[in-house]
């Protein structure tokens, strides 16, 4: 049964001649078809082309036939619909691949289709009106988080070992925490965004994946990272191979920890307890852990963040107006998106540049303040995953959903995006009701190696990939080849 093997293990089976690339794809398609009616993770399937590609794949490629899914946001794959969770794009079909997709194909991955995402990625829950909500495999009444929620559900349920995600404020790390996965947000410019984008949201967006194991995340960096022609900037050079960074001990690290939210409030007792448990393990492993709140994130920076996200929504819709040659009809945008769009249209060019200036000043202040330690630990999310519907906006007052979402993501994951730093969410604990709780580490600019080493150490000390959702286990067994 291939359901719970990671991507590296599946590739090894092909390299040893025990399975063919097409066998991996056939198994994965069967699991998706079994699980997706319950989870609604895959919204644009492409099974026939995936099977065709697998039959023609060179079995010597690094990930020959390993199934993968793409998040349907800022990622175009030739011949596939690109909807970004919006009725405005419901009929758009991509012409050509993004560079990141080309690199995945070149490594041998078989793309099974695309996963669900909130409209334009603007919510921390995956409940677009166009495709409906994605359910959390650990409890289908609850959210997967967002915006890479469809990808997270697909990996957590065993549909695929790895799925693409991107992150402009926590969109890899939020669903990783909510679905008991490892989620690395790479340094700005580590993975390419071209050819359609030079950067996105003033450098806030990073491309990568959600995985069950640390080594898979590192191995994916080995096949996707590196500058592309015409990139506006690139990350500092990495090691020889990222996957090799999962073996060495991280050394003795100085780790600051806070359990206070960006507003200075104490966190939910269950997430605070998980962070305390993580601190005990880190101390046992020989690291120095000390308390230090993120006082540098003040109201001025918060206002700048708001202007940048408003402008980002305006940019996203302007981009698609330019591509499609028409403006969205009133019923083609959800109420929360329309609220953000209206705000964004009121941000002048000068105000946006001033917001970027404020963020850049914050980046320098933070660099000075964190020079004395290696990582910053906090809860990933301010509470266990809420029930579906709690963060879904209605037409009457979308600000209610906005406020509810803000309480869910009250820890400042966006700091990694503002500063370009690497960061990660690591699966670590559980709520009393059995929902996943992750812990978050903010690293340095170009600091993926330290994060991967520590994550591998934690994975070895407290293995997490052997715990699986019961409904997904039953489904995987039902479709296992006999």
Print pLDDT tens along the chain (482 aa): 689 999 999 999 999 999 999 999 999 999 999 999 999 999 999 999 999 999 999 999 999 999 999 999 999 999 999 999 999 999 999 999 999 999 999 999 999 999 999 999 999 999 999 999 999 999 999 999 999 999 999 999 999 999 999 999 999 999 999 999 999 999 999 999 999 999 888 899 999 999 999 999 999 999 999 999 999 988 999 988 999 999 888 999 999 999 999 888 888 999 999 999 999 999 999 999 999 998 888 999 999 999 999 999 999 999 999 999 999 999 999 999 999 999 999 999 999 999 999 999 999 999 999 999 999 999 999 999 999 999 999 999 999 999 999 999 999 999 999 999 999 999 999 999 999 999 999 999 999 999 999 999 999 999 999 999 987 766 666 666 54
Strands (DSSP E) contained in 79-191 are 110-115, 135-136, 139-143, 162-167, 182-185
Residue 255 is assigned to a structural domain of this protein: yes
Burial classification of residue 198, based on how many CB atoms lie within 10 Å of its CB (0-12 exposed, 13-18 middle, 19 or more buried): middle
Question: Whole-angstrom Cα distance, residue 308 to residue 304?
Answer: 6
Does the pTM surpass 0.75? The reply is yes
Query: Which pair of tokens denotes residue 180?
Result: 């008991």
Q: Compute the C-alpha angle 303/307/309, nearest 5°.
A: 115
Residue 105: predicted pLDDT: 98
User: Which among 86, 147, 148, 177 is annotated as catalytic?
Assistant: 147
Please give the pLDDT value at position 155: 98
Pairing of strands 110-115, 42-45: antiparallel
Concerning whether 71 is annotated as a catalytic residue, the answer is: yes
185 is catalytic: no
Q: What CATH code is carried by the domain that includes residue 220? A: 3.90.1300.10
pLDDT at residue 233 in the model = 86
pLDDT at 482: 43
Most distant pair of Cα atoms in the chain: their distance: 64
Domain count, the chain: 1
Q: Examine residue 2 and state whether it is found in any structural domain, yes or no.
A: no
Residue 1 lies in a domain: no
**Catalytic annotation, pick one of 86, 148, 157, 171:** 171
Report the length, in residues, of the chain. 482
Q: Is there a contact between 78 and 169 (Cβ–Cβ < 8 Å)?
A: no
CA distance 201 to 190: 16
Q: What is the structure's pLDDT at 479? A: 66
Q: Cβ distance 374 to 444 under 8 Å?
A: yes
Residue 56 belongs to a domain:
yes
Q: Look up tokens 């950067």; give the residue.
A: 199
Evaluate whether residue 389 is within a structural domain. Answer: yes
Contact indicator for 355, 308 with CB cutoff of 8 Å:
yes
Range of 239's domain? 7-478
Residues near 280 by Cβ (< 8 Å), separated by ≥ 6?
Answer: none
Q: Is residue 81 part of a domain?
A: yes
What confidence score (pLDDT) does residue 472 get? 74
| Residue 123 domain-assigned (yes or no) | yes
CB 222 within 8 A of CB 184: no
């Amino acid at each position: 049964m291939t359901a719970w093997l990671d991507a590296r293990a599946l590739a090894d089976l092909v390299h040893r001649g025990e399975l063919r690339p097409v066998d991996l794809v056939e198994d994965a398609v069967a699991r998706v078809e079994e699980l997706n009616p319950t989870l609604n993770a895959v919204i644009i399937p492409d099974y026939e082309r995936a099977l065709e590609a697998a039959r023609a794949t060179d079995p010597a490629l690094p990930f020959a036939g390993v199934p993968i899914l793409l998040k349907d946001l800022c990622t175009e794959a030739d011949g596939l619909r690109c909807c970004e969770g919006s009725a405005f794009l419901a009929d758009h079909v991509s012409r050509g691949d993004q560079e990141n997709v080309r690199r995945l194909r070149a490594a041998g991955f078989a793309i099974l289709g695309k996963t669900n995402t909130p409209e334009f990625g603007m919510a921390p829950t995956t409940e677009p009106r166009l495709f409906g909500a994605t359910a959390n495999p650990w409890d289908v009444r609850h959210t997967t988080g967002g915006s890479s929620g469809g990808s997270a559900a697909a990996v957590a349920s065993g549909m695929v070992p790895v799925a693409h995600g991107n992150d402009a404020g926590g969109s890899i790390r939020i669903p990783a925490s909510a679905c008991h996965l490892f989620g690395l947000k790479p340094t700005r410019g580590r993975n390419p965004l071209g050819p359609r984008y030079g950067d996105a949201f003033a450098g806030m967006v990073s491309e990568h994946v959600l995985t069950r194991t640390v080594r898979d995340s590192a191995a994916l960096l080995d096949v996707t990272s590196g500058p592309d022609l015409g990139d506006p900037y690139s990350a500092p050079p990495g090691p020889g191979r990222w996957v090799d960074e999962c073996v060495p001990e991280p050394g003795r690290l100085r780790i600051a920890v806070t359990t206070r939210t960006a507003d200075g409030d104490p966190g939910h007792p269950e997430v605070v307890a998980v962070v305390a448990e993580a601190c005990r393990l880190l101390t046992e492993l020989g690291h120095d852990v000390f308390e230090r709140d993120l006082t540098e994130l003040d109201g001025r920076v918060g206002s700048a963040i708001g202007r940048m996200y408003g402008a980002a929504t305006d940019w996203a819709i302007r981009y698609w107006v330019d591509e499609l040659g028409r403006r969205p009809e009133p019923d083609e945008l959800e109420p929360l998106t329309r609220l953000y769009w209206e705000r964004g249209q009121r941000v002048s060019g000068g105000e946006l540049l001033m917001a970027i200036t404020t963020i850049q000043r914050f980046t320098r202040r933070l660099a000075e303040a964190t020079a004395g330690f290696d990582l910053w630990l906090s809860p990933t999310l301010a509470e266990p995953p809420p029930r579906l519907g709690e963060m879904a906006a209605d037409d009457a007052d979308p600000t209610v959903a906005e406020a509810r979402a803000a309480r869910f993501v009250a820890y400042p994951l966006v700091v990694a995006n503002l500063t370009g730093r690497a960061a990660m969410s690591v699966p670590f604990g559980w709520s009393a009701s059995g929902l996943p709780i992750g812990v978050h580490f903010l690293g340095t600019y170009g600091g993926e190696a330290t994060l991967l080493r520590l994550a591998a150490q934690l994975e070895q000390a407290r293995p997490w990939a052997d715990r699986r959702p019961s409904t997904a286990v039953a489904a995987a067994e039902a479709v296992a080849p006999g």
